[in-house]
Homo-oligomer: A and B are copies of this chain.
Amino acid sequence: MTAAPSPAPGPRDGRTRRTGRPRSAEADRAILGATREALVELGWGKLTLGDVAARAGVAKTTLYRRWAGKSELVVDAVAALFDEHLELPDRGSLQADIEGVVLQFAALLERPETKTALMAVVAESTRDDALRERIRSAIVDRQKSLVLLGRTRAQLRGELPHEDDPTTAARTADLIFDVIAGAVVHRTLVSAEPVDPEWARGFAGLLVGGLAAVATAGDQPPAA
């Protein structure tokens, strides 16, 4: 919860309600927690809103008053995890920073909640623009900000040149983001292999130095 005080769930309209009974903030926490718990036990496919409501100790109707459906609820539930566990400590070099963010993102993806939920909501979002926008603002943009931060640091260190044209700069940032996030996701969910420090090192080396640098060897330091 690093952003606005009540960013995630229910209130659709911009203005805060001034009158009437306020929504229970504790119910929010209970529902989102119950959603994560149900994701772990049942997975995306068998998770039902009735079950979540029962776990959270609230009525099923309360759930439907705050979220439009399963997808929206799950997005908010896992977004909280990304909020809490994503940061970019300065490790001193571009390669080390990449390795760090890769391992951090991988640790999130290894969780059973996110593992089963993330791809499911993305799949759903291919036919639902509002859902895609929700995923973007709640999850994707926060990941992307790490890429931007990492590039700025690398430029300050002199590891990367400054890019004058903001259009191409944004384009390369998007490219790098898709490569990093995509590779970690694919490794974890499709190949179903662990993203361990060794893999992270190989990947960061590939990203920094290119194919030839990786294929040549794993010991000689890359001279950019």
Contact = CB atoms under 8 A, between A and B. Distances in A.
A211 B203 contact: no
A122 B190 contact: yes
A189 B140 contact: no
Given A122-B190, A127-B43, A189-B122, A208 B203 contact: no
Contacts of A222: 210
Contact of A212 (B132, B140, B160): B160
Contacts of A185: 182, 185-186
Interface stretch (A14-22, A53-61, A85-93, A166-174): A166-174
* Interface of chain A, main secondary structure: helix
Contacts of A192: 132
A49 to B, nearest CB: 14
A195 to B, nearest CB: 9
Nearest to A165: B218
A189 B199 CA distance: 24
Given A172-B214, A175-B214, A116 B126 contact: yes
Nearest to A46: B127
A224 interface: yes
The range of chain A's interface size is: 35 or more
Q: Name the residue in A43, A206, A208 with the highest tally of chain B Cβ atoms < 10 Å from its Cβ.
A: A206
A120 interface: yes
A221 interface: no
B202 A224 contact: no
Nearest to A169: B215
Given A126-B115, A186-B182, A186-B185, A208 B206 contact: no
Contact of A127 (B116, B132, B212): B116
A109 to B, nearest CB: 10
11 contacts: A43-B127, A45-B127, A160-B211, A163-B215, A179-B179, A182-B184, A207-B210, A207-B211, A208-B211, A210-B210, A210-B222
Given A43-B124, A43-B126, 13 more contacts: A119-B119, A119-B122, A168-B218, A172-B202, A175-B214, A179-B179, A179-B182, A182-B183, A185-B185, A208-B210, A208-B212, A210-B213, A210-B222
